[in-house]
Amino acid sequence: MHNSAFRALGLDYRYEAAQVEPDHLANFLNQVMKRPDVRGASVTIPHKIAVMDELDVIDREAADIGAVNTIVNIKGTLKGYNTDGLGAFRALKESIGNLSDKRVVLLGAGGAARAVAYRIVQEAAVVTILNRTPQRAGELAKYLREKSMEHDVEVSAFPLDDEHLAWVMGETDLLINATPVGMHPNIDETPVPKHFLHSQLIVFDLVYNPLRTRLLREAEEEGALTLGGVEMLVYQGAEAFRLWTGREAPVDLMLRVVREALGG
């Protein structure tokens, strides 16, 4: 999507993949990323947290979230950003509008969940975090309560199991899956059994491959409004594009290219 955007705007940039082993991360940043012909990078698993110790400057939102997914090389100074939360928030706002009265259930407590929740708690009324490791859910809830003290939002955390799904799903307005459950190749998996879904629900699955996860398909069958992960992927990428180039990204083009690449 980035190379298509560069070509469309006539920019002399090229986006390439680089596999970096954890033991070589520091060397890669110092020897490759600081070169004058390198403008920046995207950061994926497993480096989003570890990379923070190797960067020169960390943007405030990335520092608060505790993860970096975008690096910008500013004349040899490497600055880390996190555009995941902004990407998810923009996708939600464009699809459903105001979140101020929404009761949100967030599945997961990892880096993606943390980035999304950082933005969500600024508007949502109630946020419930469900995670298979209850301790991590509790830690994220505590962090969010500290970060949202100026907002009137209720944040709680529980184990991700049928008992707690049964307890919270009936009153949930927005369900966000920030786990990898259902991602290719495990496309027959779902984090929430179908009988917990209902027609008054909005379901946002951050998984973008496949385009329509089992969770989204079953939510649609129950009459729920659904939103896939492609929009978040593109919107977080569009913000990274802006940070690298100083230009607004051609979002419609990027959406089309990604959907075509994923077979949609």
Which residues are identified as catalytic?
48
Question: Which burial class, exposed, middle or buried, applies to 29 when counting CB atoms under 10 A from its CB (0-12, 13-18, 19+)?
Answer: buried
What six digits make up the tokens of 38? Answer: 């390198």
φ, ψ of residue 254 in degrees (nearest 5) = -65, -40
**E-state strands within the chain:** 40-42, 57-58, 70-74, 77-81, 103-107, 126-131, 154-159, 174-177, 202-205, 225-227
The amino acid at residue 97 is G
The amino acid at residue 156 is S
First to last CA, the chain: 14
Q: Which of 60, 30, 57, 25 has the alpha carbon at shortest distance from 44?
A: 25
From CA 132, how far away is CA 134, in angstroms rounded?
6
The amino acid at residue 198 is H
CA dist 196 → 40, 165, 219 (Å): 43, 7, 9
Do strands 70-74 and 77-81 pair parallel, antiparallel, or not at all (unpaired)? Answer: antiparallel
Name 154's bridge partners.
126
